[in-house]
Amino acid sequence: MIEKLASLLVLVPVLPLLAAAAIAVTKRPHRQRASTLAIGAMGLSCLIAVSAFLAIAGAPEERLVRNFDWLHIGNTTIQLGWMLDPLSAAMAAMVSFVGLLIFIFSKGYMAHDENYTRFFGFLALFGAAMLGLVIANSLLLLFICWELVGLASYLLIGFWFHKPEAAAAAKKAFITTRVGDMGLLLGMVWLHAATGTLTFYTEGGEGCLQAGALDSLGAAGLTARLIAPATLIALLLFCGAAGKSGQVPLHVWLPDAMEGPTPVSALIHAATMVAAGVFLMARVFPLLEVGAAMHGESHSVVTPALTVITWVGAFTALFAAFIAVAQNDIKRILAYSTVSQLGYMFLGLGAGGVAVGMFHLLTHAFFKALLFLGAGSVIHGCHEEQDIRYMGGVRRWMPVTFATYAVGMMALSGVPLFFSGFWSKDEILHAAHGWPVSHIPFLMGSLGAVLTAFYMTRQVCYVFFGPQRSREGADHGKAAHPHESPRVMTMPLVILATFAVGLGIFGTPAWPWAQSFLEGEHAHLAFGHLFSGEVLAVMGTSLVCVAFGIGAGWWFYGRQPISSAARPDALEERFTPVFVALKNRLYVDELYEATVIRFNALAARFFDVVDRWILGGAVAVIGYLVVGFAWIGRFLEDHGVNAGFDLGCRGIRRGAGAGAALQDGRVHNYLRALGIGFATLLLLMTWGCH
């Protein structure tokens, strides 16, 4: 059964791909057909993925691979393939399930859009690429899908392409992630050069993540004396992961990506695609571990690559949380929150291993999708208003949205015990606490947790509480107050909220089923773990952080209802310079504008000038030289060669005149000449014959 499911797993990406192809040739008016195709394909994919997940849940130590030849180069073969293992099954199930809910939500959200058909086509394309990415058993196939999700992201961010901001954001997203992808490409070709394969696992043990290849990477190579090739390859791959997952310094594209329709933000820029970087690191984790020094009792593995990942993650987690505090766009707050949470995932992965990072990835996918869809519902209900200062009191008109949003907010903030986000974030802090290299990431993570609770409370206070503050002079021509969204939109919210709560059960320290599953082990129930000293200490810290964050948020924003949109932010009044800097996203975009982008533009101008004027000028000079020589030649000809020629001509003419004078037509003269000639000939012959 599990063998058959492993073979069927290829259908998980192929079905949405076929749907995308079918929608591509569907005409614009056939809206219903387009959404049915996309949702149907995703539903079937979800069914297969969940079945595969359930099958492997019973046997987490299994790894079934299906490889096929793609290219024959020289005497080697490059294979592609897919696999069924706990990691791919969990991701495929999550992506297809969350994807399905978001597809359904989109049916309501995009109902009035002119390009509804195309929207579902792009969504299906994205689904196919993302699902292909998670089941790939080859770094090359993963890279191919990786770029294709980038394409889908480009198309969907720029879906409302007539908006110049959307078009700019789409380009920025593609190019910023491509910066990281250059690293990924180099890492990939290096890996292939060094190990001769890009297949992760084969049944014969020749894969690049299996013992043979890893041993050679740890030891041999050009750089063996300084750093093992494995470390450099891992860091190059991490460049790609950092680009896709919006880690500092490549995070700038993700907040701008919010120009896309909200379901897109939920699906691609919160739940699935942006987590692909974390997934990639989890997938190649054996490579990250090469050359690890084990540290005593703690389970932490420490390698240079993992250390870098941990630091980048911790820094991003804190950095983005700070910026989120001062944003006013409902989606941008969530976007920075996503950047921050992705930082947590890298922190967890670097300090605690695959399971820690991946569990947060899975729980985050549900509650962040929930929050984004909730935000979408609010935006929809508030007539496309996105600025939280112009909302307020929405809970009265949108009760379902409010209730589910509150669940998402508490899960993200990490409210204890009942919310999945608490357990997964707690695991990360726990891992950071036990990290033998430094305690600073733990402190950064804890401070980040305070900020997370704070900015989420601020947002909820602004949006759902207080009086309604709509824009002055805004004439919507509709009902003035917000309205609840239709069932097709609220139903996915409720389902996601259920998961945002329920998933936590699978990852408590007492029964760490999810973590064990992801590590390929069976879980054991042990309530004792819950009450061990260290676990309680970390849980206590995290509880204090959350309480402090929510409390402070309430103190500033909830205590007194925010009466008018014009009123400056409570924090802005107290800490103006800091707040303004944060509001301007710490000027990172401006910095890049002034450095990288300007450099690029200057280099372009420089080479254009070189081409046009210096090289072009040199060619022109040569051309003029040739013309100059031609002139000199002509001059010489006119006055030298031609003059001589003329002289010669004159001589010939004179000679010809003399010759002509001989032929004067008088016969006796001719006869005289003939006689003289004859006599001369006779004389010559008589004397000359001796």
Partner 1 sequence: MNDLPAITLLTLLPVVAGMLLLVMRPDGVLARRIAVGTGFLLLLGTLGLWLGFPHGSAGLAFQERHDWAPALGIQYFVAVDGISLMLVLLTGLLIPMSLLTGKVPEDRPVLYYAFVLFLGGGLIGTFTALNFFHWFIFWELSLIPAFFLIKLWGGKGRDAAATQFFIYTMVGSIAMLLAFLALFLATGKFDFLSLAEMGQAGALEGALAGAVGWSGISGSGLAMLVFLGVFLGFAVKVPCMPFHTWLPSTYATAPTPVTMLLTGAMSKMGVYGLVRILLPIFPDQLRAVSPLLLGLALATIVFAAWSAFAQTELKRMFAYSSVNHLGYCLLGVFLVVRLDPGIGDNAVSQAALMNGVVLQMFNHGLTAATLFCLLGMLEQRAGGHESMGDFGGLRTAVPVYAGFVGIATFASLGLPGLNGFVGEFLIFRGAFGLSPWVAVLATPGLLITAIFLLTFFQRVFLGRLDERWQGMADLSTAERWLIAPALLLMLVLGVAPQLVLTTINPAVQHLIAAVTH
Exactly one of 22, 185, 406, 447 binds partner 1 (CB under 8 A); which one?
Answer: 185
Question: Binding residue for partner 1 (CB under 8 A) from 1, 25, 112, 164?
Answer: 164
Distant-in-sequence, close-in-space partners of 164: CB < 8 Å, separation ≥ 6: none
Q: CA 357 → CA 254, 347, 372, 430, 563, distances in Å?
A: 20, 7, 21, 12, 41
215 touching partner 1, by CB under 8 A: no
Q: Which DSSP symbol is given to 181? A: H
| Minimum CB–partner distance for residue 282 and partner 1 (Å) | 22
Contacts with partner 1 by CB under 8 A: the residue count is 55
Q: Which stretch binds partner 1 (CB under 8 A): 98-106, 166-174, 271-279, 535-543?
A: 166-174
Q: Does 437 bind partner 1 (CB under 8 A)?
A: no
Rule CB under 8 A: say whether 158 interacts with partner 1.
Answer: yes
Contact between 561 and partner 1 by CB under 8 A: the answer reads no
Buried b (16+ CB within 10 A) or exposed e, 278-313: bbbbbbbbbbbbbbeeeeeebebbbbbbbbbbbbbb
Among 25, 222, 685, 689, binds partner 1 (CB under 8 A): 222
CB of 183 to partner 1, least distance (A): 9
When binding is defined by CB under 8 A, the residue of 11, 45, 48, 147 that contacts partner 1 is 147
Report the C-alpha gap between 454 and 442 in whole angstroms: 18
Could you say whether residue 396 binds partner 1 (CB under 8 A)? no
| Element containing residue 80 per DSSP (H, E) | strand 76-84
Q: How far, in Å, are 62, 115, 237, 305, 355 from residue 286 at the CA level? A: 16, 44, 13, 12, 13
* Segment interacting with partner 1, rule: CB under 8 A, options 174-182, 404-412, 653-661, 675-683: 174-182
In angstroms, what is the minimal distance from the CB of 623 to partner 1? 8
Of 221, 408, 492, 507, the residue at the interface with partner 1 (CB under 8 A) is: 221
Is the Cβ of residue 170 or residue 370 nearer to partner 1 in the bound state? Answer: 170
Binding status of residue 76 toward partner 1 by CB under 8 A: yes
Q: Other CB atoms closer than 10 Å to residue 171's CB: what's the count?
A: 15
* Interacting span for partner 1 (CB under 8 A) from 55-63, 154-162, 343-351, 411-419: 154-162
SS3 277: helix
Residues 6+ apart with CB under 8 A from 471: 385, 390, 565
623 binds partner 1 (CB under 8 A): yes
CA distance to 288, 303, 656, 673, per residue, from 665 (Å): 115, 118, 16, 13
- The single residue among 30, 33, 66, 178 that binds partner 1, judged by CB under 8 A, is 178
Give the footprint of partner 1 on residues 596-615 (CB under 8 A): 600-601, 603-608, 610-611, 615
C-alpha–C-alpha distance, residues 311 and 449, integer Å: 16
Show the tokens assigned to 557: 């924003």
CA distance 309 to 497: 31
Which CB, 623 or 675, lies closer to partner 1? 623
Residue 467 binds partner 1, judged by CB under 8 A:
no
Contact pick of 22, 57, 167, 292 for partner 1 (by CB under 8 A): 167
- Asked if 663 is part of the footprint of partner 1 (rule: CB under 8 A), the reply reads no
Q: Does 122 participate in binding partner 1 (rule CB under 8 A)?
A: no
- Residue 21, Cβ neighbours under 10 Å: how many? 15
* Residue partners of 353: CB distance under 8 A and separation at least 6: 285, 299, 300, 301, 431, 519
Residue with tokens 């190649």: 284
71 or 211, CB closer to partner 1?
Answer: 71
Q: Does 14 bind partner 1 (CB under 8 A)?
A: no
Q: What SS3 class is residue 684?
A: helix
Q: Which stretch binds partner 1 (CB under 8 A): 95-103, 172-180, 352-360, 485-493?
A: 172-180
Contact between 132 and 145 (Cβ < 8 Å): yes
* Binding-site member from 2, 44, 144, 586 for partner 1 (CB under 8 A): 144
Shorter beta-carbon distance to partner 1: residue 21 or 437: 21
Closer residue to partner 1 in complex, CB, 534/611: 611
3-class SS string, 5-25: HHHHCCHHHHHHHHHHHHHHC
Among 186-194, 248-256, 267-275, 461-469, the segment contacting partner 1 (CB under 8 A): 186-194
Site for partner 1, rule CB under 8 A? 69-76, 140, 143-144, 147-148, 151, 158, 161-164, 166-168, 170-171, 174-175, 178-179, 182, 185-186, 189-190, 192-196, 221-222, 229, 600-601, 603-608, 610-611, 615-616, 619, 623
